[in-house]
Amino acid sequence: MDCIFCKIAAGEIPSTKIFEDDQVLAFYDAAPQAPVHFLVIPKKHIGSALEIDANNSNQVAHIFEVIASIARQLDLDNGYRVVTNVGDDGGQTVGHLHFHVLAKRKLAWPPG
Ligand code: AMP
C-alpha cells in the first residue's frame, strides 16, 4: 500500500520521533502549525477515524495514553489541542489515522 505514514511507521521514510512502541509512533509534523506540533499514529493502517470500531479502538485508547504521557514530558501543562481530520470536509490530506497535538500558543476556537 502506498501510504506515507505506513512508510514512516516502518522506518522507510525518516521522521523526528518523540515516542515509539509496538503499537504507535509519535513524531513531529513536517509543517508545524504551532510551536509544538506532533502527530501520533497507529502503526497498523487505519484510514481515518471513520474506520474506528470495536476491533481497533484499543489502539486509539492507547494513543490517548501516549499523548498524555508526552504532554507531561514536554511540559504542556498550560494546555494543548488534539485534532483528527476526517475526509475532504475535515481537511484530511494523509489517509492514515493520525492525531495532531498542537501546543505552546493560544489556539482559536471555533476552528476555521
Ligand atoms: P492532515 O491534513 O490532517 O491529514 O495532516 C497531515 C499532516 O501530516 C500535515 O500536518 C503534514 O504537515 C504532515 N506530514 C505530511 N508528511 C509528513 C512527513 N513526512 N513527516 C511529518 N509530517 C508530515
User: How many whole angstroms from 38 Cα to the centroid of ligand 1?
Assistant: 9
Q: Is 45 among the residues known to form the active site?
A: no
User: Mean pLDDT in the chain?
Assistant: 97
Q: Please measure the distance between the N-terminal and C-terminal CA atoms of the chain and give it in whole angstroms.
A: 32
* Neighbouring C-alpha atoms within 13 Å toward the C-beta of 21: 8
| pLDDT tens track for 34-63 | 999 999 999 999 999 999 999 999 999 999
For 73, the grid coordinates are 514530558
Secondary structure in 3-state letters for the chain: CCCHHHHHHCCCCCCCEEEECCCEEEEECCCCCCCEEEEEEECCCCCCHHHCCCCCHHHHHHHHHHHHHHHHHCCCCCCEEEECCCHHHHCCCCCCCCEEEEECCCCCCCCC
Band of pLDDT at residue 111, cut at 50, 70 and 90: confident
Residue-wise pLDDT tens digits, 65-110: 999 999 999 999 999 999 999 999 999 999 999 999 999 999 999 9
0.95 exceeded by pTM = yes
Q: Is residue 78 within 6 Å of ligand 1 at its C-beta? A: no
